[in-house]
Amino acid sequence: MFKQSIAAIALMAAATLPAMAHVSLETASAKAGSNFKAVLRVPHGCDGAATIGIKVRVPEGVISVKPMPKAGWKLDKTVGEYAKAYELHGEPQSNGVREVTWSGGHLGDDEYDEFVFRAFITDTFKLGQTLAFPVVQLCDGGATTRWIEVPAEGKSADDYEHPAPALTIIGK
């Protein structure tokens, strides 16, 4: 009986953990109208090839993005217009970082690393809404893995081979 209980607990714990074979967000939930520290977890390369670049597209409504520099990697920020102006500290924000790229580093296929940025999740999102942060993983030899699949209604990230890292809004 004791062994069965331990096995059941282990199975439940494993079911609540995100798949580590995918690029994912360390924290998969946030409140609208708050700051968010996004930690992108990269658990492996592309089919055996080392990772040499990570590009993440920032969803509309996520503003004031400030990526963390990473030793040994070049950091690029692509700035663009938002679909509408958002208010931040009483000031309208009509443009900002739309994509962040870390490149020129080397993350072996058998190694793990994290890529970090800070952002503000505007209060335009509803409770339970999911925000996708599509990622393109660039690897040695020209290989790429596009973590860009967004689950359709009634599906989950586990239903896809290359799901985009996602964040669920849990309140305001």
Residue extents of the structural domains in the chain? 20-169
- The burial of 19, by beta-carbon neighbours within 10 Å (0-12 exposed, 13-18 middle, 19 or more buried), is given as exposed
H helices present in 17-165, as ranges: none
Q: What DSSP element (H or E) covers 123?
A: none
pLDDT at 9 over 70: no
Name which CATH class applies to 20-169: mainly beta
Distance CA 137, CA 103 (A): 10
Helix H or strand E segment including 91:
strand 91-107
Global pTM reads 0.85
The pLDDT confidence band at residue 151, using thresholds 50, 70 and 90, is confident
Mean pLDDT across 8-28: 58
